[in-house]
Structure 1
Amino acid sequence: MNKKQFLNTYKKIDALDEEKDAPTENPSIYRSKHDERLIKDFHYAKFQKNLNNAQQSQILKDLLNKENWDEKDTEKLLQSLR
């Protein structure tokens, strides 16, 4: 093969790669931008509520300060996170 054939082969390979990449655009999982905003706001508010509950929980604070945990402590942790 000569140099020109090598270059043409690389161009063809690059063109094939671009064709494979183009149709893989992900469609939106939301019906509209408004739905997307509502769902994201809902999840953010839920996260903030859970964060606040975790920070204010006296049971969780006591468990975090404890060095050696047993099975009962693990159960308390799981119950406080529900």
Structure 2
Amino acid sequence: MNKKQFLNTYKKIDAMEKAETKADDKKPLYRSEHDERLIKDFHYAKFQKNLDNAQKSDALKTLLEKENWDETDTEKLLESLR
């Protein structure tokens, strides 16, 4: 390789790095910190509600104790998780 080929290679590498940095610049997921906090609090409350419902569900407890499941048991599980 001669000097000109080396310089062209370095130019190509620099161009690739600049293209990668432009691709990495994305819009933020949330509009503001307040929006982020509200959305995360909402999802956490929803998770807590679902967890509480699952822990209090007698149908779910009986299904979890059962050893051999059939198709109807799977359907009951899905209905109890909705």
Give the TM-score band, short-chain normalised: 0.7 to 0.9
Q: Give, in angstroms, the shift of residue 7 of structure 1.
A: 3.0
TM-score normalised per structure 1? 0.80
TM-score normalised per structure 2? 0.80
Which ranges of structure 2 fall in alignment gaps of 5 or more residues?
A: none
Q: Structure 1 runs of 4+ off > 4 angstroms?
A: none
Question: 2:13 corresponds to which residue?
Answer: 14
SS of the equivalent of 1:17 reads helix
SS of the equivalent of 1:76 reads helix
Report how many residues are paired.
81
Q: Matched residues in 1 for 2:38 and 2:11: separation? A: 45
Which ranges of structure 1 fall in alignment gaps of 5 or more residues?
A: none
Question: 2:46 corresponds to which residue?
Answer: 46
Q: Give, in angstroms, the shift of residue 68 of structure 1.
A: 1.3
C-alpha distance 10-56 of structure 1, shift in aligned 2 (>3 A) = farther
Q: Give, in angstroms, the shift of residue 53 of structure 1.
A: 1.7
